[in-house]
Chain A
Amino acid sequence: MDQLIRPELVCPAGTPAALKSAVEAGADCVYVGFRDETNARNFPGLNFSRKELEEGVAFAHDHGAKVLVAINTFPRAGRPELWHQAVDDAARLGADSVILADVGLIAYAAAKHPDLRLHLSVQAAASNVEAIRFYAERFGVRRVVLPRVLTVQEIAAINAQIRPIETEVFVFGGLCVMAEGRCALSSYATGQSPNMNGVCSPAAHVRYVDTPRGVTSQLAGFTINQFGHNEPAGYPTLCKGRFVANGKTSYLFEEPTSLNTLAMLPDLIKAGVTAFKIEGRQRGRAYVAAVVQAFRAGVDAVMAGRPLPDMDLDRITEGGRQTTGAYERAWR
């Protein structure tokens, strides 16, 4: 690479207040979802009405930021209208792009709204150049959010082959350990999945049960973890629980941990990534502001050739633990 691309910071907003916080903290883009099952953070009390999106777009554009609308669940057979309407409304209300995962929905958007910028959601799990080219060549997808299965070296190799198609990678927040959009663990336990319902390990199925030894966290009746009396009881996300396998109790899939790549920003920028995504549309505005400010400072420092500023995000990560996930080969 001759010249470094200055990556856009793509920041989460579950509410209009979080959108404003993210923009004010230095987000280049904010991504949002509609208040229904068309997006992968279909949580109670979260997301945008059509009117809120319109106002959010106006606010963001006034401040030089873009709004991306995630419509990244898989339309239910027999009633695609809800998803089609979401794409139509995002286009009508001036969204700068839509983030889609389903082939059929992408085909619809490309045919109906040829001028609408299409991003491929991480839920489509396009993990190689052929998959990326498939979406770009057939539907005009401009940017692909890469699944969290690739190392930095693999990402760099992909970018070298697919330009001018852009890539976006997750840099902070909750971490899927499975290839996204290719995991049915949640529905196996609860009947509801990210692909079909926009939820994973949904709160309505969570119970904390007091026992003589402390607290047990359950998901749909399955014990996901146990905590002592003085330990904070974490949320029972299925793949971050403790299980027994091969006669051993362990966090078999992943510890309760968060992705934090601040220290890797120079490597990710050198790998030619176009945009950095922060996870957390379900988080409050304080979280959004803190994380966006930290990554804004980090990106600006790298681009100016300065050392990374010393920033402490420990307190807002899940269980205080952090990982660089699949970006480092040893994680596998």
Chain B
Amino acid sequence: MTDIIVSQPKLSLGPVLFNWKPEHLRDFYFRIADEADVDSVCVGEVVCSKRSPFFTPFLPEVISRLAAAGKEVVLSSLALIMNERELREARELAGSDGWLVEANDISVAAMMGGKPFAVGPLVNVYNEGTLAYLESIGAIRACLPAELPAEVIATLAKSAQCEIEVQAFGRLPLAISARCYHARSRNLAKDGCQYVCAEDPDGMAVDTLDDEPFLAVNGTQTMSYHYLSLLGELERLRAIGVRRFRLWPQAVDMVAVAALFRQALAGTVAPQEAADKLADLCPRAEFANGYIHGREGHLYLEDDA
């Protein structure tokens, strides 16, 4: 290992999990390329293969714009692969030269044929045995699942040969299904879904019967209603060996969010001030960080309790 301990932590922009209009998504990535202070940008459809055909034509220009701006481009795979068409697309992804592939299903890791790849947060890496096996077949980076507490992350970071990434901002991907809840909410079947998920660029809020905000639906994916924010935990996570943090794109000013996380990592903004600024940037959001404290994911805890 040539890396030294004082290496600067990296910021990744996760793949856009929502169904944004293709032109809008292209423009979003152009702005990220030109303005966002992130090291890596993940692109690709993770949630629903029905959405892929619309953005695919824009992908080459998005990738070259990001690469030209000095960003590492990561190609994220679909999470739930169920049929031949999806398998074929995943094999094509795994065969793409020149870009790092993020496997969001174990099948994609297998398809890499020993080439270096990144493990996405939707692959179950809960312990050092699994991490070591994935490293042995080519994993050079692993973004860990949402529900892991800091002590588990510390154990994994200690044993890891690869770079450990942790989700730090945005609605948490909590579950994936064959069923589309967006379509179901409109009394539609998935086959005739009319792409209603596009109506909710930040996910569809799901409240309890008491009108308490609880979850969010993004097509076949179920997410947290609350936005994850680990602004207050970055320093501790760096200290235990986390070298990369992931920001999930939301329908907010992600350039500003990235700048804020960069400042927080550099220690040039106080934690409370950073939290206030994030709340200003995400005016409709509520925040959570419970998982990292080993608690319920929806909680927001002020201190390392």
Residues A223 and B208 in contact, CB atoms below 8 Å apart: yes
Segment of B18-26, B233-241, B250-258, B293-301 engaged in the interface with chain A: B293-301
Question: Is B132 interfacial (CB 8 A cutoff)?
Answer: yes
- List residues of A (163-209) whose CB comes within 8 Å of B's CBs: 177-179, 181-185, 187-191, 193, 195-196
Bound Cα distance from A75 to B174, whole angstroms: 19
- How many of chain B's residues have a CB under 8 angstroms from any CB in A? 71
Question: CA separation between A190 and B145, bound complex, in Å?
Answer: 17
Tell me if A108 is interfacial: C-beta within 8 Å of chain B. yes
In the bound complex, how far is the Cα of B182 from the Cα of A332, in angstroms? 11
Interface-central residue, B146, B152, B208, by most chain A CB under 10 Å: B208
List the A residue with the shortest CB-CB distance to B128.
A77
Assess the A225–B178 pair: CB atoms within 8 A.
Answer: no
Does B58 belong to the interface (CB within 8 Å)?
Answer: no
Asked if A318 lies at the interface with its beta carbon under 8 angstroms from chain B, I say no
* Nearest-Cβ distance from residue A250 to partner chain B, whole angstroms: 7
Inter-chain contacts of A74 with B (CB < 8 A): 124, 126-127, 130
Are A78 and B184 in contact, with the CB atoms below 8 A? no
Is B273 an interface residue, CB under 8 A from the partner?
Answer: no
Could you tell me if B217 and A75 are in contact, using CB atoms closer than 8 angstroms? no
Tell me if B291 counts as interface (CB < 8 A to partner A): yes
| Interface-side segment among B30-38, B67-75, B104-112, B278-286 | B104-112
Interface centre among B83, B132, B156, B224 (most CB of A within 10 A): B83
Residues on the A chain within 8 Å of B81, using CB: 127-128, 130-131
**B131 on the A face (CB < 8 A):** yes
B206 pairs with A179, CB closer than 8 A: no
Contact stretch, chosen from A9-17, A54-62, A238-246, A279-287 = A238-246
A245 touches B206 (CB 8 A): yes
B155 close to A (CB within 8 Å): yes
Instruction: Answer yes or no: A28 CB below 8 A from chain B CBs.
Output: no
Q: Which residues of A contact B107 (CB under 8 A)?
A: 126, 128, 130-131, 134
Q: Complex formed: what's the CA distance from A330 to B187 in Å?
A: 12
Nearest chain A CB to B117 CB, angstrom units: 13
Q: Are A252 and B181 in contact (CB under 8 A)?
A: yes
A245 touching B217, Cβ below 8 Å: yes
Q: Are B82 and A77 in contact (CB under 8 A)?
A: no
Contact A182 B181 (CB under 8 A): no
Q: B205 touching A245 by the CB < 8 A rule?
A: yes
Task: Identify A104's interface contact among B130, B177, B291, B298, CB under 8 A.
Answer: B130
What per-residue 1/0 map shows which CB atoms of A143-158 lie under 8 Å from chain B? 0000001100010010
Within 8 A of A (CB), among B17-74: none
Which of the four size classes fits the interface of chain A?
A: 35 or more
Instruction: Name A's interface SS.
Output: mixed
8 Å CB contact of A128 from B82, B155, B207: B82
Do B145 and A128 have beta carbons less than 8 Å apart? no
Among A75, A131, A223, contact of B106 (Cβ-Cβ < 8 Å): A131
Give how many A-B residue pairs fall within 8 Å (CB-CB).
217
Question: Which residues of chain A are near B156, meaning CB under 8 Å?
Answer: 77
Given contacts A196-B126, A250-B185, contact A104 B110 (CB under 8 A): no
Of listed B82, B156, B176, B204, residue having the most chain A CB within 10 A? B82
Contact with B along A51-90 (1 / 0, CB 8 A): 0000000000000000000000011111010000000000
Pick the residue among B87, B147, B191, B209 that contacts A184 (CB under 8 A).
Answer: B147
Q: How far is the CB of B120 from chain A (nearest CB, A)?
A: 12
Measured CB to CB, the nearest residue on chain B to A176 is B177
The reply on B262 being an interface residue by CB < 8 A is no
Q: Which residues of A contact B270 (CB under 8 A)?
A: none
Decide: A184 and B145 in contact? CB cutoff 8 A. yes
- Whether A220 is near chain B, meaning CB under 8 Å from some CB there, is yes
Q: How distant is the Cα of A131 from the Cα of B78 in the complex, in angstroms?
A: 13
Determine whether B134 belongs to the interface, using a CB cutoff of 8 Å to chain A. yes
Whole-angstrom distance between the Cβ of B272 and the nearest chain A Cβ: 26
Q: Which of A107, A131, A245, A326 contacts B110 (CB 8 A)?
A: A131
Q: Give the CA-CA distance A191 to B84 in the complex, in Å.
A: 37
Nearest B residue (CB) for A222: B208
**B86 contacts the other chain (CB 8 A):** yes
15 A-B pairs in the complex with CB atoms less than 8 angstroms apart:
A76-B127, A77-B152, A80-B129, A149-B82, A154-B83, A179-B177, A182-B80, A191-B290, A222-B208, A243-B208, A243-B215, A245-B204, A250-B185, A252-B184, A254-B179
Residues of chain A whose beta carbon lies under 8 Å from any beta carbon of chain B: 74-78, 80, 101-105, 107-108, 124-131, 133-134, 149-150, 154, 157, 177-179, 181-185, 187-191, 193, 195-196, 216, 220, 222-226, 239, 241-246, 248-250, 252-254, 326, 329-332
